[in-house]
């Protein structure tokens, strides 16, 4: 069997293809032959060495609560212990503040106050467990923390709220203990503004959400669908920028994850956990990032933009072409990504149904 990142047998001779992302209008090069270059793709890694359940030197472990700033949110565990804690980041990207953001113009240069919020979601008391090692209830609780903090930050700070997770040193993580982060920024970055404007223009032209129409088209074609449930769909995006990129989208339109229903929240967490377990089973303990992208608090985006969760494995490094053009080169077609993950996604009995009502897309046209 070939290395998983080198695609199906024979794809190394497939001609490169340019694909345009319908959500960003960015172009991506799908180039299966690039994976055959010597040393271009790292070998799958093995699990990290066994870690202690509690590390006395870790600021996120039980017993060291005084080594973090005062907590903002807590989910209680058994015997007055905690299951999840949310605390301010001791080394924040932005200074904590919810007042007006002042901007200053000096000729061609513009600056603004670096105010916002940067929080840490400590996902479990256990130092030795990663998110895919937790059970469904524990992962659901992590997503409840995302929703709760997104609501709280949105209510006091205009702009963008972004829950995200870094796994592995190449992804930007600096502490081993399982954690994710929530950041509120007072501005909407240009790349997000363009995405929201594209969705708004599509809605004005078609009277429907771009996310809803793209998801319907993906379900109809089927080749990039990984799994689905009553409320969410997991797929490999048409113009994936990275090998084994995955996306979880709601089947019903919802602009912000802060407003997600309990049912959709639960299924999102369960779906993500299975995707991460499948990814680890296929490629080893690789670095990745995931982000939850929602519409900003502005009402004008409520009907046109829908939240989604993106998982981006960190398997290739941007070289001169990618840096110079801003165009990603992906050596693994998303159709291959979906096919590989469908084969290894956990919890699939012979019936084709995943435990908890999730269905793996076995065929090119999945049954809903």
Q: Is the dihedral of CA 96, 102, 106, 110 positive or negative?
A: positive
Active-site choice (179, 231, 301, 308): 179
Q: What is the DSSP string of 9-44?
A: TTGGGSPPEEEE-TTT--EEEE-GGGGGSTTSSPPP
Q: What is the DSSP string of 343-356?
A: HH-SS--TTSEETT
Quote the CA–CA distance of 366 and 225 in Å, as a whole number: 8
The response to whether 355 counts as a known ligand-binding position is no
Instruction: Identify whether 231 is a catalytic site residue.
Output: no
Quote the CA–CA distance of 63 and 250 in Å, as a whole number: 38
Phi, psi dihedrals of residue 217, rounded to the nearest 5°: -65, -40
Q: How far is CA 75 from CA 7, 67, 78, in A?
A: 43, 19, 10
How far separated are the first and last CA of the chain, in Å rounded? 32
Cβ atoms of residues 351 and 359 within 8 Å? no
The response to whether 301 counts as a known ligand-binding position is no
Query: Which one-letter DSSP state was computed for residue 128?
Result: T
The response to whether 167 counts as a known ligand-binding position is no
Burial class (CB in 10 A: 0-12, 13-18, 19+), 351: exposed
Quote the CA–CA distance of 172 and 300 in Å, as a whole number: 33
| Radius of gyration, CA atoms only, the chain | 21
- In sequence order, the 6+-apart residues with CB closer than 8 A to the CB of 33 are 12, 13, 14, 16, 331
Number of neighbouring beta carbons within 10 Å of residue 240: 27
Active site residues: 179
In the annotated binding site for Zn(2+), the residues are 58, 61, 127, 177
């Amino acid at each position: 069997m070939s290395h998983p990142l080198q695609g199906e047998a024979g794809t190394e001779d497939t001609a490169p293809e340019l694909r345009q992302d319908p959500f960003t209008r960015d172009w991506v090069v799908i180039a299966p032959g690039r994976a055959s270059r010597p040393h271009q793709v790292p070998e799958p890694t093995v699990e990290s060495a066994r870690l202690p359940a509690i590390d006395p030197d870790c600021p996120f472990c039980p017993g060291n609560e005084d080594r973090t700033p005062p907590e903002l949110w807590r989910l209680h565990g058994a015997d007055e212990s905690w299951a999840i804690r949310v605390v301010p980041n001791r080394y924040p990207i932005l200074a904590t503040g919810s007042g007006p953001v002042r901007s200053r113009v000096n000729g061609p240069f513009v600056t603004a106050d670096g105010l916002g919020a940067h929080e840490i979601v400590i996902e479990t008391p256990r130092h030795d467990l990663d998110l895919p090692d937790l059970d469904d209830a524990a992962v659901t609780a992590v997503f409840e923390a995302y929703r709760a903090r997104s609501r709280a930050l949105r209510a006091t700070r205009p702009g963008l709220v972004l829950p995200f997770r870094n796994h592995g040193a190449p992804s930007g993580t600096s502490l081993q203990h399982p954690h994710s982060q929530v950041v509120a920024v007072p501005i909407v970055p240009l790349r997000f503004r363009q995405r929201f404007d594209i969705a708004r223009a599509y809605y004005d032209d078609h009277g429907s959400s771009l996310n809803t129409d793209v998801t319907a088209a993906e379900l109809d074609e089927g080749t990039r669908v990984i799994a689905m449930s009553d409320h969410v769909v997991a797929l490999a995006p048409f113009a994936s920028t990275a090998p084994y990129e995955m996306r979880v989208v709601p089947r019903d339109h919802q602009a912000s994850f802060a407003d997600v229903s309990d049912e959709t929240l639960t299924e999102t967490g369960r779906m993500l956990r299975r995707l991460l377990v499948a990814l680890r089973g296929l490629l080893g303990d690789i670095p990745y990032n995931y982000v939850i992208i929602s519409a900003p608090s502005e009402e004008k985006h409520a009907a046109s933009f829908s939240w989604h969760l993106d998982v981006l494995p960190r398997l290739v490094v941007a070289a001169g072409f990618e840096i110079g053009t801003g165009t990603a080169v992906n050596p693994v077609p998303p159709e291959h990504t979906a096919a590989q993950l469908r084969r290894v996604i956990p919890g699939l009995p012979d019936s084709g149904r995943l435990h908890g009502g999730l269905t793996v897309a076995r065929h090119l046209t999945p049954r809903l």
